[in-house]
Structure 1
Amino acid sequence: MNELYLGQIFLFAYDRVPDGFMRCEGQTLKYQYGDSLHALHSLIGNQWGGDPSKQEFKLPDLREKSPIPGLCYMICTGGSYPPFNS
């Protein structure tokens, strides 16, 4: 697999955030129609919180879910929209 898909969650062995990723720390994000965060919201919705009337959603908080201390979960915010097979 060479392509990154929007919304994929990866476990990194370092704390530096690569381009096109955000840490999964439960942060609230605001989106505007047509931007990349709007596309991410269309995939994950308000599953982890946020206020849709304010165009806000939250990323999952996976800080305590790491199998080994020092590893960091990050979500892809700059990849392609995943294809869906029906």
Structure 2
Amino acid sequence: LDFGAYYKGYVSDMTRTVSVGEPDAELKKIYDIVLEAQLRGVNGIKAGITGKEADALTRDYITEKGYGEYYGHSTGHGIG
């Protein structure tokens, strides 16, 4: 699910992953890889790094785990 709100000039965006039924082992593995990549991105981001460097914080881990070819978009996006 991907949704957000506009309120008094503020903009939000939120994405959540849900499963209808029990996900199989492969889907759980992929979810865990994406979660770890997100945590690496959140923990590694800092003032002064480029967008390319921020993207690499997540992309490199996903690629290392064998799923890089399926990661066809950039990490994050601007809002507003």
- Please report the TM-score for the alignment, with normalisation by the length of structure 2: 0.24
Q: Which has the higher strand share?
A: 1
Q: Which has the higher helix share?
A: 2
Higher relative contact order (CA 8 A, sep 6+): 1
- Please report the TM-score for the alignment, with normalisation by the length of structure 1: 0.23
- Between Structure 1 and Structure 2, whose CA radius of gyration is higher? 2
